[in-house]
Structure 1
Amino acid sequence: MRALVFVFILLLSYTGSAQTGREARIDSLENALKLVGHDTTRVNILSELARSYGGVDSLKAFEKGFAAIALAKRISYLRGMADANINVAGAYLDYFDIENAKKYFTIGNNFADKLVAKDSSARNIKIWIRGKFNIGVAYGFEGNVKREIELIAETIPYAQRIGDKMFVANANTSLAIKYGNLSLSDKAYNMFLISQKQYEEVGSPEDMIYHSLSFTTVLGEMDSLKQMKSVLDIAKSNLEQIPNSFYEGYYYAELGHYYGKSGEYKNSIDALNKSYEFYKEDALSFYLKGLYQRYAETYRKMGDFKKAKEYTLKYMNFSDTNHNTDEIVQNYLSLANFEAELNNYEQAYSYLRDYVKARDTMRVSNLDSSLQQLEIQFKTATKEKEILALKNETSEAALALQVKKSQTYLLGATASILALLLFIGFYAYNDKLRRARKKEREQEKEVALLKQKQENEVFSAMIEGQEKERKRLAIDLHDGLGGRLSGISMNLSKLDKDEPKEYPKTQLKKVMKDLDDSLTELRSIARNMMPETLVKFGLQAALKDYCSSMTGNDTKVTLQFYGTEKGIGLNEQVTMYRVIQELINNAIKHAHASDVLVQYMRDGNKVDITVEDNGVGFNKENIVAKDGGMGLSNLRTRVAYLKGDLEFHSEENEGTTVNVQINVDAA
């Protein structure tokens, strides 16, 4: 879903401007083309027309672009060849022909490099940065977002140098979108804040709309709903200045997304319906495809699984080829869940089989890709060896020719010296190889010892944790429950000894209250040993129950649970429960926190657990000293059992945040 939304935004950045103001510019350029006589000026106008027709009329974009390339080549016009090739590449990019787009971007960028090397004027640098930026976009469409970010970042200093503030704002917004696509929400958020200030300085209302709608997607992923609404309001105020704007349909799509995340499902559907009105006439609209996912997600949250299934099928059956394997796998799983909720278990099973088949196909595809890469590396290495062997044969032939020309008495001496050198080299090589192998064996032994040591430490820590748990349980039973039961026994003995003449109602009420308190404490001890809610209803219900029990007059414990615990074994769920339980106890007991936030987020096989409090915090240098009191050793042992990572972020008087990252397959 995330990837689809960001591609949606990126497409808006290319097609939105095509609908505003281009017609007049195209007419002006076409008229100028009829009057111009100089070839270089004709190349410039043809090239500009190719760019202006991009996204509006692809046939004319290619016609003008190729005409510009042919004329520029005939008159050896370097700037024209750079600009025209880049514009033709842009036309291919609008048409989603990535292979040809990269081909012409590469040709144009090579000319642009030569152009800037001769004349680094602002006019030429603009062509250079446009080529670099857009070939980065082409890489992004292929899925190589890292390379796209590198190329876009490379253009920004040059745009700043020539004072092109608008390009810098657009580039920073593009980087923000890419960081969001990589789930780097913090980086994306900071880049959006930077570009927002830049757009406020030089941008038009349409630029502010584009930026705001892009920003809301990241804010939605971060669950920053208050700020998401304020940014949507900025988009709305700018939309009011542009009647019938291309972006209006997507504004309502994002507004529907906001309402859906806020729990206002009726408002969400109303907003999505308004967005649908803009795209319903075009059955192949990519934006319509994105809306289907928004509808499905909102109806799922509403519990209307029939509607959720209907829109998921519309998305799955959308007549294009842009469904990646990961999306197909996820949608089959969603359909299986919807059918199960509708009690259509046979169809649910069928979709579940499709899900497993698609997932296996995805894994095989990934394996094939890895094997192909290894095969290419092997062939490359083989070629290098063949070239080296050929060079050696050539050298030996030249040496033989020289030896033949030499005097006969030097032949034996030369051969002896060569033989000696070969022997010494061979001996040195074997000796070096023996030492390397010996060192490798020693390193393997050291690694094995370290691994054994680590396993022993984990086992010892686990045993120690179990002993501490048993000791704590014994103390709870002896000092708490045992003391209460002893008191009840003494009260009953006293009643028997006193032999009251009338019914001892008051004394028996006290004994009954003591029994109720004892039962409550017994249930609390039992819940700590093995939470019954977890066994019956799962991790989410158990955590919700525990967080509610820990919420009191002085402390508020909030749970945010995203994803599911399905597919995670009971032992692993219990261990996760213990980890969160220990972290909450630390926050309340040691950090004296009044507000504790617990987040459980699962994305595929990755589980992220975050516990954040507003307590007194601690100094990182003193974390070892506090280990005994806070049970950090026990925490690390449990996280190690889950094959996870544990991180603390805290400052004194600033609160504490604890992050636990777990791979479900590893656990």
Structure 2
Amino acid sequence: MKKIIRFFGLASCLFLIPFVGFSQLNTSATIDSLRKELKIAKDDITRVDVLSELCYILPKVDSLASFKTGFEALELSRKIKYKKGEAAALFSLGGAFMDYFDLDKADQYYDRGFPIINAIVQKDSSKANLKIWLRGYYGKAINYSYRSNPTKEIEWTDKVIPIAQKINDLDFLTNVHTNLGILKMNVGQNNDAYTSLKKSEQINNKLKAPKRIIFTNLTIAGLLHNMDSIIQMKPYLDAAKKYLDKDLNSIDWQLYYTNEAQYFSGLNQYEKAIASLDKAKVIILDKQLNQEYFLLMQRYASVCQKHGDYPAAIKYMTEFIKTATDKKIPLDRFKGYYKRSQYEAAQENYKNAYNDYVLAIDIYDSLETENHLKNIKELELKYDSAEKEKEILALTVKNEQKKSQTYLLLGLASVLGLLLFTGYYIYNQRLRKARKKEHLHESEINLLKQEQQNKIFSAMIEGQEKERKRLAIDLHDGLGGRLSGISLNLSKLDKDEPKEYPKQQLQKVMKDLGDALTELRAIARNMMPETLVKFGLEAALKDYCSSMTGNETKVMLQFYGNEKGMNINQQVTIYRVIQELINNAIKHANASEVLVQYIREGNKVDITVEDNGIGFNLETTEEFQNGMGISNLKTRVAYLKGCLDFHSEENEGTTVNINIIIDAA
């Protein structure tokens, strides 16, 4: 489980922070300019260069047009054997597939372009060639970010920064520092992120590029939100809006509104936050921004969660899961189910939370399986590579027979080792699945047992109280009525003063009957305290503690809070528990002072009953281990789904602590 949490903790950093590649910052004016260049292009090389650049810029505006121009550039470059154009086209298509979130395809196109551009740069490291090299290697870094692999992303980013500085490509450097700042945010390194973003801000001021200034200011605003510096977000939002107001059709409005939503959410202005996200959604759907739609659903859910609107959070997370399923992105499905399980649990929909959590674990296990299979594939590749190296070395061996035997033995040993490894892996996977099924089965059984036990406790307690109530009514209305009648008759005889009946004896009988009535009423009150039914738990406890206070015993009650939200069964059960503890303190512990504390804070109830009696040894006292009284106490507290704790020492008194959560009862 800890492994899952660590995995999700890293992956979920992207959950609330928009990650935007530098290609988004290109303007529609640039696209129009390139299309004009394409129309007047006089040769195929120029056409390839323009088509590749269009493919690189278009994904955020028109994905279909991006793919069309990219494949046209690739086909034409191969036709005229223009290697530089082929590399540029491959890298642009890689970016297009990445924006479309087909990360595997993106990797394929990047990897096909690297050998071509590396060969070109070895011969000619001009600025133009290095720019294409930067585009490919940095595109690969961004692809790692979409795969939630910050280690690889940093590794590939470190490769490009020195080259960008070497050719003084400020336009490229500002994008690298911006995205590196976002990466640092994603892994929680906020101070380093701020440093990178400020570097980007300085370069943008030199370039005087409004689009980049907008994006950097909005990114810094998002960082300040993560650092809980909500008030400091406003100047950056205002600075970005100053430029955005000059271009009402800018695609960056969606980023502004998502950051504005975080600002309002931080100020606890929930309605305004949702309204800002709604504005962003209109732009995202209109522009068909696939990745931003993912992030928007997560942002909706996050805002709703923060403000306690869990039904809305569940709705948005369900949409996120559906989109991830349609796009076949298992990592996002894992994040979605895991997060939704938390929202369901917060709503006390424990069955739904359990189901979502199981689905998340299944997806995580499948991801782990894919990693293992990749490791096996890497072993096979290493094995093939080793075999090739052996073949080269074997050319120097004169004895062909020995060489063949050596290869055969090595091959058999390697294949045998690989088979053993594969067999062990398959066995281990089956064992893991069997253990997981067993664990799930045990969890279900325990859940059913707990539910059954709760039903038994509930039925038992309710039955006891109904029986007590019935007995109380019978005693009061039946026997009590009879005794009262006898008392009235004897009183009448006493008034008549018959000579055959001694007055002194009649008075004694009347006194005995009066005592019997008093005792009868006490029994009825103990069985179903009338004060509790009419006035509540606090009044009933005060009445009982007062009745138990006498010349030799003092029972004190400290009642803080109320019984609001408790049903009558819960109140009666708490009353019985305290009643039993007070009786034990007086009857068995010979206590002269008993202190009862009832403290309620929110849904949490803490009860303490402390006496100065003789105490006892918890481990050796047989009555404590097996006594019916203690057993009944434990049963009643279990019915309330609470915790019961005894502290006692001989001649030092006894303290009993009970903790109850009202919602759980």
Q: Give the shorter-chain TM-score range.
A: 0.5 to 0.7
Aligned to 1:127: 132
Structure 1, residues 404-424: CA drift from partner, whole Å, max 9, x if none?
xxxxxxxxxxxxxxxxxxxxx
Q: Quote how far apart the aligned CAs of 1:172 are.
A: 0.7
Q: d(CA) in 1 for partners of 2:31 and 2:397?
A: 71
- Whether 2:376 is the aligned partner of 1:368: answer no
CA separation of 1:257 and 1:374: change in aligned 2, threshold 3 A: same
Greater C-alpha radius of gyration:
2
CA separation of 1:141 and 1:75: change in aligned 2, threshold 3 A: same
1:592-611 aligned within 5 A = none
Contact 2:294–2:320 (8 Å) recurs in 1: yes
Aligned to 1:272: 277
Aligned to 1:490: none
Counterpart of 2:202 in structure 1: which amino acid? Answer: K
Q: Quote how far apart the aligned CAs of 1:69 are.
A: 3.4
- Whether 2:16 is the aligned partner of 1:9: answer no
- Tell me the matched-pair count: 403
CA separation of 1:5 and 1:393: change in aligned 2, threshold 3 A: same
Q: d(CA) in 2 for partners of 1:43 and 1:285?
A: 27
* Helix, strand or coil at the partner of 1:146: helix
Q: d(CA) in 2 for partners of 1:362 and 1:312?
A: 16
Q: d(CA) in 2 for partners of 1:298 and 1:57?
A: 30
- Whether 2:108 is the aligned partner of 1:108: answer no
* Helix, strand or coil at the partner of 2:20: helix
- Whether 2:61 is the aligned partner of 1:68: answer no
- Whether 2:175 is the aligned partner of 1:170: answer yes
1:205-354 aligned within 5 A = 205-279=210-284, 286-318=291-323, 320-322=327-329, 324-340=332-348, 348-354=349-355
Q: Quote how far apart the aligned CAs of 1:363 are.
A: 4.6
Counterpart of 2:256 in structure 1: which amino acid? Answer: Y
Q: d(CA) in 2 for partners of 1:393 and 1:165?
A: 52
Contact 2:15–2:298 (8 Å) recurs in 1: no
Which deviates more from structure 2 when the two are superposed, residues 255-264 or residues 275-284? 275-284
Counterpart of 1:138 in structure 2: which amino acid? Answer: N
Q: d(CA) in 1 for partners of 2:284 and 2:383?
A: 54
Structure 1, residues 319-348: CA drift from partner, whole Å, max 9, x if none?
5444624422333323323532xxxxxxx1
Greater relative CO (CA pairs within 8 A, separation 6+): 2
Counterpart of 1:107 in structure 2: which amino acid? Answer: R
CA separation of 1:268 and 1:401: change in aligned 2, threshold 3 A: closer
Q: Quote how far apart the aligned CAs of 1:102 are.
A: 2.3
Aligned to 1:200: 205
Aligned to 1:146: 151
CA separation of 1:87 and 1:375: change in aligned 2, threshold 3 A: closer
CA separation of 1:391 and 1:361: change in aligned 2, threshold 3 A: same
What percent identity do the matched residue pairs reach? 25
CA separation of 1:384 and 1:100: change in aligned 2, threshold 3 A: closer
1:523-602 aligned within 5 A = 537=604
Q: d(CA) in 2 for partners of 1:111 and 1:393?
A: 31
Q: d(CA) in 2 for partners of 1:299 and 1:97?
A: 30
Structure 1, residues 382-435: CA drift from partner, whole Å, max 9, x if none?
668878998999999729999xxxxxxxxxxxxxxxxxxxxxxxxxxxxxxxxx
Structure 1, residues 541-572: CA drift from partner, whole Å, max 9, x if none?
xxxxxxxxxxxxxxxxxxxxxxxxxxxxx9xx
Contact 1:26–1:52 (8 Å) recurs in 2: no
Q: Quote how far apart the aligned CAs of 1:173 are.
A: 0.6
Contact 1:308–1:338 (8 Å) recurs in 2: no
- Whether 2:29 is the aligned partner of 1:21: answer yes
Counterpart of 1:258 in structure 2: which amino acid? Answer: Y
Q: d(CA) in 2 for partners of 1:16 and 1:387?
A: 47
CA separation of 1:317 and 1:149: change in aligned 2, threshold 3 A: same
- Whether 2:38 is the aligned partner of 1:30: answer yes
1:327-476 aligned within 5 A = 327-340=335-348, 348-369=349-370, 371-372=372-373, 375-376=376-377, 379=380, 398=399
* Helix, strand or coil at the partner of 1:120: coil
CA separation of 1:401 and 1:214: change in aligned 2, threshold 3 A: closer
Q: Quote how far apart the aligned CAs of 1:244 are.
A: 2.5
Q: d(CA) in 2 for partners of 1:233 and 1:241?
A: 13
Q: d(CA) in 2 for partners of 1:381 and 1:240?
A: 57
Q: d(CA) in 2 for partners of 1:39 and 1:273?
A: 45
Which deviates more from structure 2 when the two are superposed, residues 353-362 or residues 49-58? 49-58
Gaps of 5+ in 1: 341-347, 403-531, 540-569, 571-667
CA separation of 1:395 and 1:93: change in aligned 2, threshold 3 A: same
Contact 2:99–2:291 (8 Å) recurs in 1: no
Q: d(CA) in 2 for partners of 1:392 and 1:279?
A: 59
CA separation of 1:23 and 1:161: change in aligned 2, threshold 3 A: closer
Counterpart of 2:248 in structure 1: which amino acid? Answer: P
Q: d(CA) in 1 for partners of 2:69 and 2:282?
A: 35
Which deviates more from structure 2 when the two are superposed, residues 216-225 or residues 383-392? 383-392
CA separation of 1:61 and 1:374: change in aligned 2, threshold 3 A: closer
Query: Which one of the candidate residues 78, 87, 107 is aligned to 1:82?
Result: 87
Aligned to 1:651: none
Aligned to 2:527: none
Contact 1:29–1:49 (8 Å) recurs in 2: no
Structure 1, residues 600-620: CA drift from partner, whole Å, max 9, x if none?
xxxxxxxxxxxxxxxxxxxxx
Counterpart of 1:241 in structure 2: which amino acid? Answer: K
CA separation of 1:279 and 1:390: change in aligned 2, threshold 3 A: closer
Gaps of 5+ in 2: 1-11, 404-598, 607-642, 644-665
Q: Quote how far apart the aligned CAs of 1:287 are.
A: 3.6
Q: Quote how far apart the aligned CAs of 1:118 are.
A: 1.9
Contact 1:299–1:308 (8 Å) recurs in 2: yes
Q: Quote how far apart the aligned CAs of 1:53 are.
A: 4.2
RMSD: 4.1
Q: d(CA) in 2 for partners of 1:317 and 1:399?
A: 61
Aligned to 1:583: none
Which deviates more from structure 2 when the two are superposed, residues 93-102 or residues 193-202? 93-102
Aligned to 2:187: 182
Counterpart of 2:15 in structure 1: which amino acid? Answer: L
Q: Quote how far apart the aligned CAs of 1:533 are.
A: 9.0
Q: d(CA) in 1 for partners of 2:183 and 2:116?
A: 28
CA separation of 1:331 and 1:229: change in aligned 2, threshold 3 A: same
CA separation of 1:105 and 1:298: change in aligned 2, threshold 3 A: closer
Q: Quote how far apart the aligned CAs of 1:107 are.
A: 2.9
* Helix, strand or coil at the partner of 2:241: helix
Q: Quote how far apart the aligned CAs of 1:167 are.
A: 0.9
Q: d(CA) in 2 for partners of 1:283 and 1:72?
A: 30
Contact 1:26–1:53 (8 Å) recurs in 2: no
Using structure 1 for the length normalisation, give the TM-score: 0.53
Q: d(CA) in 2 for partners of 1:67 and 1:140?
A: 28
* Helix, strand or coil at the partner of 2:343: helix
Contact 1:153–1:175 (8 Å) recurs in 2: no
Q: Quote how far apart the aligned CAs of 1:171 are.
A: 0.7
Which deviates more from structure 2 when the two are superposed, residues 87-96 or residues 383-392? 383-392
Structure 1, residues 128-173: CA drift from partner, whole Å, max 9, x if none?
1112111222232233332222222221222222221111111111
Contact 2:257–2:280 (8 Å) recurs in 1: yes
